[in-house]
Structure 1
Amino acid sequence: MTTTPQQTGDELVEMAWDPITRIVGSLGIYAKVDFKNRTVAECYSTSSIFRGYSIFMKGKDPRDAHFITSRICGICGDNHATCSVYNQNMAYGVRPPHLGEWIINLGESAEYMFDHNIFQENLVGVDYCEKMVRETNPGVLQQAERTEAPHAGEHGYRTIADIMRSLNPLEGEFYREALQVSRTTREMFCLMEGRHVHPSTLYPGGVGTVATVQLFTDYLTRLMRYVEFLKRVVPMHDDLFDFFYDAIPGYEQVGRRRVLLACWGSLNDPEHCDFTYRNMSDWGRRMYVTPGVIVDGKVVTNDLVDINLGIRILLGSSYYDDWEDQEPFVTQDPLGNPVDIRHPWNQHTIPHPRKRDFTDQYSWVMSPRWFDGTNHLALDTGGGPIARLWSTALSGLVDIGYVKATGHSVVINLPRSATRPERTFEWKIPERGGELYSNTLERNRARTYFQAYAAACALYFVEQALAEVRAGHTQTWSPFTVPEEAISCGFTEAVRGVLSHHMVIRNGKIANYHPYPPTPWNASVRDSYGTPGPYEDAVQNTPIFEENAREDFKGIDIMRTVRSFDPCLPCGVHMYLGGGRQLRKLHTPHAFGGS
């Protein structure tokens, strides 16, 4: 992390953290910190790289879309491949066999477990470890040493300070254990889709995985080890996060922003999902993670057609030229609804690099917004889990035994495992003193609970897959043909939140293709109406509780807030090199000698 302070007044100091560490290093946070009032006065989120998938996808064979878009990211590539396959299924009019869909659900569930575990324990957890707290809040650490952990009998750590020590990077007991667990969950994914993170057996129409009882048994044995692990993880994190509320009065305001959450839904029910646009409202609501736009704690819509039509791509303070004078690709959706010029189906990516100017353009990330008919809402994903759990809880549509949405919470039932009895966890919509909270600690807490949710769903999916195999229904793929003309979309949840892929096919080739993962939503910049993006909004006005003086300021509360969103900048921006120009040609010897 690079911090660059610059005095702008008696107590207002310009500071930069660029790049942000423990994520892909192209995100910068530029802030003005008011040390007199202990708050962040202004914040700007920047990204310094640009890539061009939406440009070079044009003219490609649509059947290559998932292989290409998987390479957008080396972390959540399978989420892109899955969303692209959903998109292609709609374009080709193909419906995978039930078993193929159960296998995809098992793969995506394993990805949620893998990625949330490694990010929570080995990346975010470092923000709350003993070494970090000692450096930034020694008074809080002293209190942690004296505080008994309420659930010590479940996770094995006597005090909160013991939990913090277990999270110390490389040497902490829990830190190392989580790394081992991540290997198990990665194996689970590979059993279903061949390779992680770029699936080798995932195609439009289903999968090429050979389905056997042994395959799902191998998955299940690993899954139950993960279930055993989670029965310690959930109470441990509850103890840790609750301690920060108690130890630092007012900490609930850190990273807090208005409840503006987006979830596009994930994990399809093959009994209902036919991938047609005309039925998308229905099969979207049948997902095992319910889609929804949440405004001020209420569901505005859980209809994927409404969600799709409301997406707007604004440029605002990003390095692009507008496309409103271009001919639209799509004027109506398949149901006859009008499609806006700023919708992804009609987007043109026209890069215009320039010098960074915080009063004008300052980032390569565009500003996706959701139009509710009146306002362009700067929705965030909260890192993914908080939006998914909130949306699923409020809609109350999921009830499969292992998980149940109640209308105000999500109940998760984990069965007996090797050494631990059956355990029920309940994620409740975050509320303190009658107020709803979408803040740093609750984004992180939800990530823990969603690991349990994904594991519980996977238990159900294994049962369904085994039932298909035992009934002799072993087909995992359906044939299809590529049409000459089509418009299509795919919706799912990447690990860190909403993911959509929109495609236009003309003359059998891709005419337009735009993937919108969670990071453009979260890391977006001030839009055309001056509305800041979610990172900016969550950091701006956040209180500062770090005990260090200005000269030694680390910005831990700012860093915790940004990392609570689980940033993944490769998905936020796209690079396009154009023709380029040669500056100098050198003859370079081989690295180990010779020519």
Structure 2
Amino acid sequence: MRRISIDPVTRLEGHLKIEVTVDGRQVTDAHAVGTLYRGFEPILAGRDPRDAVFLTQRICGVCPVSHATAAALALDDVTGVAVPHNGRLLRNLILGGNYLQSHIIHFYQLSLPDYVQGPDIAPFAPRYSGDYRLNKETSDRLLGHYFKALEIRRKCHEMVAQFSGKMPHQASIIAGGVTQNATKERIAAYRKLLAEVAAFINNEYQEDVGVIASAYNDYFKLGRGPANFLVYGAFPLDDAGRDFLFTPGAYINGKLVTLDKEKITEDVTHAWYTSAGDGKPAEAVTQDQCNKAGAYSWVKAPRYDGMVCEVGPLARMWISGRYTNGVSVMDRIVARMLEAKLVAQTLPVWLDELEIGGPCEAAVEIPYMGVGVGLTEAPRGALGHWVVINNYRIERYQAVVPTTWNASPRDKAGQPGPLETALIGLPVLDADNPLDVVRTVHSFDPCLACAVHVIKPSSRMDQFRVK
């Protein structure tokens, strides 16, 4: 029996430690350890609620639009504002462009080096030794696409900036809609960039995923998650918000059920937070407790009706019925590519529906008191923001991000999180080069960048200690 600690796991957002116990070349136990404290909830307390749209974007530089969207939806909810037709479409277009860049960077920059052996130079080295199955010609072609993907990702940012002012950290999504309206020039610029991005997705990206899936087809049987899925819904197709491109719902124990936001809770039994962090997000308080007995992660454990649920592209494609092949490492990679194709083919529809000069935002009046919920889908999965307002200010705020779901620790019932579940039972042929473990972790596209290091006031600012 051997215990392996990978700290940190590289090629993901933020800092994640994975600890696995290997016995007989198989993982028998696993712990996903978030080694950073987020701290955004206390930062938001006491501020004007409208600040949340801009401050929460700083949680993540890869998917800031998702946080802006969730925060704006929470304020839309608490104020009862109706977002105009153009506002809905522009939010979709901004979020959609952000989706494409996120999916592209995941496959090429974060996952592809797990399967393609590049030259012995950075960023391809150092790397684990192990099972690389592609010949040199195929590897060189995919590595060429690695660099082209960086250019395509930049074009995705340019798409988003047409209607959001800038990227990362867009500036136009607000409560009540969007501040930058559609013009013929901006629509034309967005459309031209989208054509280039869509061509890359429909050709190189799709073909390259097919190459990897064919060469590593045994990974369709590895890294199986809990087989429970959760989707909040995203990209509204009507102004009333009744129909979505990504269907909201839950898939629990083999059955599709209607989403009930009241069943969303967080458990902090094995997380470094006080018990006040337990329960429904709108009622919870985020207060650190770094020496807590039995805790091993700064990530909380969200549950839906007490059940462990995987979130992300596979969950969305599964619940919508677009892809239900399996619940594995390779299924996550394939589902993400198929989702990128879907978004790319839908964005032109929203461009066509824009009304030049039509209203894109509605006036918002912050109430003295109220509770709002903003549920959407980030590229990595279900994202929820809960805001409690008192005396026109934020009294409490909770952001439950996708990786909080996927990289959660065990809960009070002892249930491991989705990532931990996917690792348990995984074969490990070489404990000194746990490539299978890393491939499984990367298939979830973890993002733990929404955190702040915990330091002692007496310590130097360039030194820190993580547990």
TM-score (norm 1): 0.73
In 1, Cα distance between the equivalents of 2:35 and 2:390?
33
2:465 paired residue number:
none
- What is the CA distance between 1:351 and its match in structure 2? 1.1
Classify 1:583/1:84 alpha carbon distance in 2 versus 1 (closer, same or farther; 3 Å): closer
Give the AA of the match of 1:516: V
Q: Name the aligned partner's letter for residue 47 of structure 2.
A: K
Which residue of the partner structure matches residue 504 of structure 1?
388
Match status 1:300 vs 2:257: yes
CA contact (8 A) 1:53 1:575 kept: no
Q: Which amino acid aligns with 2:109?
A: N
Report if the CA contact (8 A) 2:225-2:419 is conserved.
no
Match of 1:378 in 2: 308
Q: How does 1:183-198 map to 2 (within 5 A)?
A: 183-198=154-169
Deviation at 1:257, TM superposition (A): 2.3
Q: Which has the higher contact order (CA 8 A, sep 6+)?
A: 2
Task: Name the CA shift for 1:554/1:58 in 2 (closer, same or farther; >3 Å).
Answer: same
Partner Cα distance (1:497, 1:380) in 2: 8
Over the residues paired in the alignment, what is the CA RMSD in angstroms? 2.2
Query: Is the contact between residue 253 and residue 543 of structure 1 (CA under 8 Å) also seen in structure 2?
Result: no
Counterpart contact for 2:52–2:71, Cα < 8 Å: yes
3-state SS, counterpart of residue 323 of structure 1: helix
Residue in structure 2 matched with residue 238 of structure 1 by the alignment? 210
The equivalent of 2:441 in structure 1 is: 562
Amino acid at match of 1:429: T
Q: Could you tell me whether the CA contact under 8 Å between 1:317 and 1:363 is conserved in 2?
A: yes
Q: Which residue of 2 aligns with 1:590?
A: none
2:53 paired with 1:164: no
1:31 Cα shift? 0.9
CA distance in 2, matches of 1:576, 1:54: 15
For the residues of structure 2 that align with 1:532 and 1:53, how far apart are their CA atoms? 25
Letter in 2 for 1:457: T
Which stretch of structure 1 is more off in the superposition, 100-109 or 194-203? 194-203
CA distance in 2 between partners of 1:474 and 1:53 (Å): 35
* Distance across 2 between alignment mates of 1:490 and 1:267: 13
CA offsets, 1:322-343, max 9 Å, x none?
A: 128xxxxxxxxxxxxxxxx710
Counterpart in 1 of 2:426? 542
Letter of the structure 2 residue corresponding to residue 289 of structure 1: F
Which residue does the alignment assign to 2:3?
Answer: 14
Cα–Cα, structure 1 residues 584 and 197, in superposed 2: closer, same or farther, change >3 Å? closer
Question: Which one of the candidate residues 194, 201, 209 is aligned to 1:223?
Answer: 194
SS across alignment from 2:413: coil
Structure 1 residues 270 and 353: alpha-carbon distance in aligned structure 2, compared to 1, 3 A threshold = same
> Whose Rg is larger?
1
Shift in Å at residue 514 of structure 1? 0.5
| Contiguous gaps of at least 5 residues in structure 2 | 119-123, 462-467
SS at match of 1:288: strand
Aligned position for 2:121: none
**How far does residue 135 in structure 1 lie from its aligned partner after superposition?**
6.3
Aligned positions of 1:128-143 closer than 5 A: 128-131=115-118, 136-137=129-130, 141=133
C-alpha contact 1:19 1:27 (8 A) present in aligned 2: yes
Q: Distance in 2 between matches of 1:234 and 1:137?
A: 25
Deviations 1:35-86 (A, max 9, x none): x3x2111111112211312122221111111111111112212210111001
Q: Is the 8 A contact 1:51 1:576 kept in 2?
A: no
Q: Does 2:273 align with 1:320?
A: yes
Distance 1:532 1:451 in 2: 29
Could you tell me which amino acid in structure 1 is paired with residue 20 of structure 2? A
Match of 2:298? Answer: 364
Task: For residues 96-117 of structure 1, give each alpha carbon's deviation from its aligned partner in whole angstroms, at most 9, with x where no partner exists.
Answer: 2111111110011100101110
Q: Alpha-carbon deviation of 1:570?
A: 2.4
Higher mean alpha-carbon deviation, 126-135 vs 85-94, is at 126-135
On the 8 A contact 1:316/1:530 being kept in 2, the answer is no
Find the counterpart in structure 2 of residue 429 from structure 1: 324
Which of 347, 350, 353 is the matching residue for 2:284?
A: 347
Judge conservation of contact 1:503–1:513 (CA < 8 Å) in 2. yes
Alignment of 1:433-512 (within 5 A): 437-465=326-354, 468-469=355-356, 473-512=357-396
Q: 1:535: Cα distance to partner?
A: 1.3
Q: 1:207 aligns with which of 158, 178, 194?
A: 178
State the alpha-carbon separation in 2 of the partners of residues 364 and 370 from structure 1: 20
- Shift of the 203–162 alpha-carbon distance from structure 1 to 2, 3 Å rule, reads same
Q: Helix, strand or coil: the match of 2:246?
A: coil
Distance in 2 (CA, whole Å) between partners of 1:210 and 1:193 is 9
Matched residues in 2 for 1:501 and 1:479: separation? 21
Say if 1:294 and 1:451 are closer, same or farther in 2 by CA, change over 3 A: same
- Within the candidate set 227, 240, 244, 1:272 is matched to 240
Q: Deviations over 1:244-301 (max 9, x none)?
A: 12xx5xx43321123111111111234322xxxxxxxxx2xx0111111112443122
| Residue in structure 1 matched with residue 229 of structure 2 by the alignment | 261
Partners of 1:117 and 1:198 in 2: how far apart? 19
Matched residue, 1:71: 58
- What is the deviation of 1:137? 4.1
> Cα gap change, 1:442/1:511 in structure 2, threshold over 3 Å: closer, same or farther?
same
Which residue pairs with 1:32 in the alignment? 21
Partner SS for 1:380: coil
**Structure 2 CA distance for aligned equivalents of residues 582 and 576 of structure 1:** 12
Deviations 1:527-585 (A, max 9, x none): 111111111111111123x4x5x5xx2111100100111111023x56677xx644689
Contact 1:320 1:350 in 2 (8 A): yes
| Rounded Cα–Cα distance in structure 2 between residues aligned with 1:92 and 1:208 | 18
Q: Aligned partners of 1:31 and 1:529: how far apart in 2?
A: 20
Identity of aligned residues (%): 30
Amino acid at match of 1:557: D
SS at match of 2:22: strand
| Alpha-carbon distance between aligned partners in 2 of 1:521 and 1:113, rounded to the nearest angstrom | 22
Contact 2:155 2:193 in 1 (8 A): yes
Q: Which amino acid aligns with 2:86?
A: L
For 2:266 and 2:460, the matched residues in 1 are separated by 39
Partner of 1:3 in structure 2?
A: none
Counting only pairs closer than 5 Å after superposition, residues 94-133 of structure 1 correspond to structure 2 as 94-131=81-118
